[in-house]
Structure 1
Amino acid sequence: MAALAVVALAACSVDGPARAPSRCDSTTETTLRAWAAAGFSGSVAIAVRGAPTCLAAYGRADDATGAPNSVDTVFSIGSVTKAFTAAAALRLVDRGALSLDTRVRSVVPEITSTVGDATVRQLMQHTSGLNGSHGADREPLGREEAIAAIAAMEPAFAPGTGYVYTNAGYTLLALIVEAVSGTGFRDFLVSNVLRLPDGDVAGGFWDGEPSAPGPRATGYLDDGRPGHRGGFPGPHWAVEGNGGLAMTTGELASWTHALFTGRIVAPASVDLIRGPGHDLGGGRSETPGWVRLEENGAVVLATAGGGGDVGHNAVVAWLPGREEVVAMASNRPELAAEELLRRLLPALAAGDPLPAPDPRPVGGGPVDPAAMGRYRLDGGGTVEVRTDGDGLVISAGGADAVAALLPPRPTTPDRELRAHEERVLALLAGRSQEGREERAAIESDLGRVTGVSPAGTVVDDGELRSYVTVEAGGRSVLAWYAVNAEGGIEGAQLPADPPSLRFVAAAGGGYRPDDPTGTGPDVTVRFEGSRLVLLGPAGTATATRAAG
């Protein structure tokens, strides 16, 4: 077991008493418990100079059994896997078996598009021209099939002339590692990258062998359904290299410390990872497997992964100034690990005490049950209101309702929302190879597509999602898509539930979003007789109770 997880501590669960205390100082523990009460369910590991300063877990790992999360709970780390794949390639660079300037074509000659001219460095920094993914996560895809799928992808730009985050690029990097090493990618990863300085192995794979040992958290999706728990027999080349690993947060923290202190790759490769890398603007840059940024004047290296059908979110940050690692993983959507770290990072970078969540709005009293139901805006959109424990869940149908209920923060300009929506509509119009393939997949499931209309764009889980109504096979289906700047699919759901927001009563009347991070939509809801009033940064929108 990894150095950070040698103490078998039980979870500090918000759903029941813990069997043993967490290994955190009292101030940090109090703050993390407050975040757990605000919705975080998962595990946290913090270490300084390789010594754990906080190991804790909260919430339930499995609703069916009531098992709590613990520091020994295993989570899928999703795209954090890319940091391990980059390290695998750099191990070969350290040995002189591979060069950062090695071109794809010289190792995988089947790649005959311009991507064949891309270098290993460009694959690591997402500047190869590959755009999007080459297969669905649980699609059985063999090595040769993966090569053929990547070879058939339409490049977004010539290598080195642009940037677009891509899963396919890291699978191609894994294929190069396998070809150059002469060893199966998984075998090479376990023997050369996952093995820690003390001889232990950091985790394993979520699907297939070698499997990550230990109890697994069940992930829960946005609609409450349990996510994929592993066991997919493969072959696994849809996720190989880009998202297949799983481990505890203690193992992830221990591995990260080993990486950045030169015990996984050579010092020159550590310097490459630390960057600066490919400039992303705003003080951020893409380095091999990581993003380099500055927070409160301190350099931070971070990487995150989640989404898909597992229902987990994982994030890890390295603060070189203090040789500190923070690793988090969550198994519920109410407060994802990535969102929690985003809120805590300024304090971590400054060495300040961790901030508590924003206090929940209180007051206002219960809502009249007669206020539940559907309301209609003048523009035709609808708002659906239902109770949820001590709060309300309000769903929006139609672009005008989405804009009123879920207005973006000022950090996301309207032009970005419009541009994202246009890219999604272009995708579903079949204006790219990926778009034509997506449209064909929809028609295979639903029937001929006769129309696609916008239904609003929101910021969710830190990404833009454009909702659309797809007319296919004689019926209307709601879907959402998240795409990158080149129009490549980064996430999608079809069919999808309407976008919604949970509200709790606010002092002085009305309802405010149940948003402990303070980063969500800035909107207030009031009920005035048969009307529902939405007050947001763009003004007031009024919906009238629908008949029937």
Structure 2
Amino acid sequence: MRKHLALLVAALLLLAACTEDTPGPAPRPSAGTSGPCARETDAALSAWAVAGFSGSIAVATAGRFDCLVAYGSADDRAARPNTAGTVFSIGSITKAFTAAAVFRLADERKLTLDDRARTLLPQLKGPVGDATVRQLLLHTSGLKGTHANDSQPMSREQALQAIDALEVTGKPGEHYLYSNAGYTLLALIVDQVSGSGYRDYLTSRILRLPDGRTAGGFWSGQPAAPQPRAVGYREDGTAGEAGDFAGPYWAVEGNGGLAMTMKDLAAWTHALFTGGIVAADSVKAIAGAGAGREIGDGRTEVPGWVAFDASRFGVPFLTTAGGGGDVGHNAVVVWLPQQQRVIAMASNKPRISAEQLLERIGPAIAAAKPLPAPPSPAGGGALAAATGTYQLDGGGSFEVSVRDGRLAVSAAGADAVAALFPPPAGVTAGDLRRHEELVRELLAGRTLEGRKERAAFEAQYGPIDDVRLAGTVAQGGELRTYVTVVARGRQVLGYFALNEAGGVEAAEVPTAKPALVFLPSGDDRYHPDDPTAGGPDVILAFAEARMTLTGPAGSTAARRVS
């Protein structure tokens, strides 16, 4: 489960707008909830629902709900709406619960944060055994790479062996490198030290709220999160995994796998930071008091969370997020300690994710201004006339088609990908080249993880004859390098997203060509269908059998060939 950090504006969402006023109309109001949003806020959020947000939102102050609403569809086929009682997979937010379990065991004096992993798990023989519990919590153990795919059946023993065999970057404590495997290793420690097993310990000690209720459960396996659940929908429109994976579950234990309502996530977050889950000293440590690792831009990695300082907003906050992957959900939660306020959001469709919505409307709320409305497409535009294949002089090409009243444009070739997906501010050409070189090294088998990836590919497609770069895209907070792998005369397109040490964060082989969907802006021009304005900054124009793509670095023209 890869974590997506909420961006800088996330902390201030709904600070001024959520009250107990009578709610206004909404395209998909929540059913049977208390604490609805203010009329103006609900109306604004309803506009975002019309634009594509589908999910649930909970905001609470001092343990009392100010805003509890839901929009959109939980299941398109069954015509079932999202409600405040809909359950979502929370992905990497699970790490916050695993961290709490570790601190609860420390409260019980069953371990200390300075214990080395092999002291608690004597089976460890590899270099990760030298890492301390604290270093695992802060992603400074040195572990790189993943020990399994999310839906890969993996027993406890297999997970322990796989993590023990992973490569490390330097000595423990030297480098910050986000690691799912590190949090699964923490879950293995909880499993061993608690005496009751990881799942039982979480259920009995960590998920239990002060009022006696249990906050959710597991997306797959037992004890399961309750029904009803939202169906997740992936980028290609297919339904995500429904939580019926038979296990065993040690591919995601500790790093992702929990599920709950946003009401329960908000209630649990308040309980955690007000001493209802762990002792007061542990609360301070989780919040970063003397136990964090600075990672730049005013951010500090703390156990299970990321803390933002007050320099940017005048108020500190903590946040964690997760989602994507095989389930198709996205979730984010924010804790503002000075106000004792929690914001929890989840979405089950990719058009506007929970994190994207949080980013888009936060600044206006922080300034006590009306929430911005999602942009409306301009009228006109002869979509059918623009369809066809367009060729670049460098060899790349674009396929343009009409999909649901919008233009869908896919790119083939590194030059076409670069034109369709100009990198956002802060991502340099050097960053792209470095990532591409790491992917080359991976597929050349120069690392342990690379040899595993290469072996997995060759087991399915045969010996690799060639690897050709097909472009790099900045998407969803990560770099994805597309490659065409040639094996036995067959060309297979895939992408790899690696961290700075070359470890695989995400991969998909085979995959579809990178593509964007556009809406008309008027005058035969088109802009990305991106209500949150967080995607590529590119405009299309069509004239005289040519398509021109204009981005921050200038314009690129492609001629129509069919």
- Aligned ranges for residues 494-513 of structure 1 at < 5 Å? 494-513=509-528
Alignment partner of 1:309 out of 326, 331, 337? 326
Match of 1:468 in 2: 483
Structure 2: runs of 5+ lacking an equivalent: 1-19
Q: Which residue of 2 aligns with 1:111?
A: 124
- 2:103 partner SS: helix
Moved more, 257-266 or 271-280: 271-280
Structure 2 Cα separation of the partners of residues 490 and 206 of structure 1? 21
Partner of 1:75: 88
**CA–CA separation in structure 2 for the residues paired with 1:80 and 1:102:** 24
- 456, 472, 479: which one pairs with 2:471? 456
Alignment of 1:119-518 (within 5 A): 119-275=132-288, 277-294=292-309, 295-347=312-364, 350=366, 352-353=368-369, 355-363=371-379, 365-518=380-533
The superposition leaves residues 274-304 of structure 1 with CA deviations (integer Å, 9 ceiling, x where unpaired) of 1161110111111000011144122110101
- Is the 1:60–1:66 Cα contact (8 Å) retained in structure 2? yes
* Distance (whole Å) between structure 2 residues aligned to residue 464 and residue 360 of structure 1: 29
CA-to-aligned-CA distance 1:463-493 (integer Å, 9 cap, x gap): 2111111112321111111111111111111
Deviation string for 1:179-203 (max 9, x for gaps)?
A: 1111111010011100000000000
Q: Distance in 2 between matches of 1:417 and 1:354?
A: 38
**What secondary structure, in the 3-state scheme, does the structure 1 residue paired with 2:227 have?**
coil
Q: TM-score, normalised by structure 1?
A: 0.94
**CA separation of 1:368/1:44 partners in 2, compared to 1, >3 Å: closer, same or farther?**
closer
Shift of 1:132: 2.6
Residues 98-120 of structure 1, C-alpha deviation per residue, up to 9 Å, x if partnerless?
Answer: 11101001011222222111111
**CA-to-partner distance for each residue in 1:44-87, whole Å, 9 max, x for gaps?**
11111111111111111111111111111111111100000000
Q: 1:519 is matched with which residue?
A: 534
Q: Give the Cα–Cα distance (whole angstroms) in 2 for the partners of residues 69 and 23 of structure 1.
A: 15
2:500 partner SS: coil
1:425-473 CA-partner distances (Å, limit 9, x unpaired): 2111111101110110011111111111111111212221111111123
8 A contact 1:35–1:356 mirrored in 2? no
The 8 Å contact of residues 396 and 405 in structure 1, kept in 2 or not, is answered as yes
**Preserved CA contact (<8 Å) 1:115 1:158:** no
Cα contact 2:383–2:406 (8 A) shared by 1: no
Which string of whole-angstrom CA distances, capped at 9 and with x for unpartnered residues, describes residues 370-395 of structure 1?
32111111111111111122321111
Q: In structure 2, the residue corresponding to 1:333 is in which secondary structure? A: coil
Aligned residues: 536
Higher relative contact order (CA 8 A, sep 6+): 2
Structure 2 residue identity aligned to 1:378 = D
What CA distance in whole angstroms lies between the structure 1 residues aligned with 2:549 and 2:439? 27
After superposition, the Cα gap between the structure-2 partners of 1:12 and 1:207, relative to the gap in structure 1 and judged at 3 Å, is farther
| Residue aligned with 1:423, SS | helix
Hey, what's the Cα distance between the residues in 2 that align with 1:337 and 1:55? 15
How many Å separate the matches in 1 of 2:484 and 2:393? 19
Task: State the Cα distance separating 1:156 from its structure 2 match.
Answer: 2.1
Select between 190-199 and 329-338 the one with higher mean Cα deviation: 329-338
Deviation at 1:366, TM superposition (A): 2.6
The CA distance in 2 between the partners of 1:355 and 1:395, in whole Å, is: 33
Q: Find the aligned partners of 2:25 and 2:70 in 1 and give their Cα distance.
A: 5
1:424 to partner: Cα distance: 1.6
* Cα distance between partner residues in 2 of 1:524 and 1:233: 46
Give runs of aligned pairs for residues 23-38 of structure 1, distance below 5 A.
Answer: 23-38=36-51
Q: 1:161 to 1:541 in 2, by over 3 A?
A: same
Contact 2:356 2:534 in 1 (8 A): no
The one-letter amino acid paired with 1:483 is L
Provide the rounded CA distance (Å) in 2 between the counterparts of 1:34 and 1:481. 35
TM-score of the superposed pair, with normalisation by structure 2 = 0.92
Q: Match of 1:3?
A: none
Q: Does 1:48 align with 2:61?
A: yes
Aligned partner letter, 1:216:
R
d(CA) in 2 for partners of 1:336 and 1:413? 26
Partners of 1:485 and 1:115 lie apart in 2 by: 19
Q: Which amino acid aligns with 1:307?
A: G
Judging changes above 3 Å, is the alpha-carbon distance between structure 1 residues 353 and 200 closer, same or farther for their aligned structure 2 residues? farther
Structure 1 letter corresponding to 2:476: D
- 3-state SS of the aligned residue for 1:482? strand
- Aligned Cα root-mean-square deviation (Å): 2.0
SS of residue paired to 2:66 = strand
Q: Distance in 2 between matches of 1:29 and 1:43?
A: 12
